[in-house]
Amino acid sequence: MKYGGYQLKEITPDITLLYGFPEECCMYVLKGKEKLLLVDTGMGTGNLNEALAAIGPGLPVLVFNTHGHADHCGGNSQFPAIYLHEGSFADADRAEEEKKTLPGAEPVEGLPCYDWKKVPVREGDVFDLGGKTIEVIETPGHTPGCICLLDREDRILFCGDLVVGKDHGEHMLAYVEWFSFSTVSIETLHRSLQKIRDREDEWDVLLGGHDAFPLEKKYLYQLMDMCGDILSGKAEPFHPVLPAQYGNITCWKLEREDTCILYHDEVIFDRKKEERP
């Protein structure tokens, strides 16, 4: 059954996956007794409020962006206010234009179109939905403003595109996402991964922004090892690749079993060699 153009799938009694167009991200609706929380707004390919009303009729909704990419915040204008990290403000502003270049993101007629307000969130902010508490964890990596949302009761860490699972058909699972080509170094990514690892007794799986594939902790460990090897110069990456979607910047691809990192030589360390102590 579709609501507002979205396929709804129950993950737990309090968590519903909202799935629209293949290119857009997976959205998640977390349901408390008093409020709903929407994780990301996709590309705005459907009527998000209609889908939300099917999940929690009459409940107020807090809307979050895990980061500012167009496939995660293209539906922001359907809401008066969006919670996101300050580091994502500029990305989110660009997303409105950027999403027009994405396939399938045709504007839908008759939807609300707010000049939405940015509400900044920071490390440690906690949102009580009524019997369900969600905590913000700052995790720069995929972009500088990336956040994870920890659902304390269901023990799920919604990690946006920080770590993404891909369904590989028969042998299923998952490799873990590239990032880089951005301004965020492997060093910073490593710290963010370490941060969620330090809190691993509070969550059981990661749920990322694409393919809705729950990732066990072993992927996180493996990705951390790979970052460590890149930092120590021990990594043996594949040939450089030139992903057209990133402006053909030369990237290295490091693959190991079910994990993969795409990175750029210029952004391994936070500071250039000569600036390091």
Count of chain residues binding Zn ion (CB under 5 A)? 2
Taking the least distance from each CB to Zn ion, the nearer of 24 and 161 is 161
Does position 264 interact with Zn ion (CB under 5 A)? The reply is no
Taking the least distance from each CB to Zn ion, the nearer of 136 and 162 is 162
CA 33 to chain centre: 25
Distance in angstroms (rounded) separating the CA atoms of residues 142 and 178: 8
Angle between helices 217-232 and 186-198 (to 10 degrees): 150
Taking a C-beta distance cutoff of 8 angstroms, is the pair 142, 177 a contact? yes
Segment 34 to 93, residues that bind Zn ion, using CB under 5 A? 69
Taking the least distance from each CB to Zn ion, the nearer of 55 and 102 is 102
Taking the least distance from each CB to Zn ion, the nearer of 42 and 56 is 42
Q: How far is the CB of 243 from Zn ion (least distance, A)?
A: 13
Q: How far is the CB of 193 from Zn ion (least distance, A)?
A: 16
- Is 166 exposed, middle or buried, given 0-12, 13-18 or 19+ CB atoms closer than 10 A? middle
- Is 245 exposed, middle or buried, given 0-12, 13-18 or 19+ CB atoms closer than 10 A? exposed
Q: How far is the CB of 264 from Zn ion (least distance, A)?
A: 16
Q: How far is the CB of 69 from Zn ion (least distance, A)?
A: 4
Segment 154 to 213, residues that bind Zn ion, using CB under 5 A? 161
First-to-last C-alpha distance (Å) of the chain = 59
Segment 126 to 165, residues that bind Zn ion, using CB under 5 A? 161
Distance in angstroms (rounded) separating the CA atoms of residues 115 and 146: 22
Q: How far is the CB of 178 from Zn ion (least distance, A)?
A: 10
Taking the least distance from each CB to Zn ion, the nearer of 31 and 142 is 142
Q: How far is the CB of 248 from Zn ion (least distance, A)?
A: 18
Taking the least distance from each CB to Zn ion, the nearer of 73 and 220 is 73
Taking the least distance from each CB to Zn ion, the nearer of 127 and 178 is 178
Q: How far is the CB of 246 from Zn ion (least distance, A)?
A: 11
Taking a C-beta distance cutoff of 8 angstroms, is the pair 32, 132 a contact? yes
Applying CB under 5 A, the residues found at the interface with Zn ion are: 69, 161
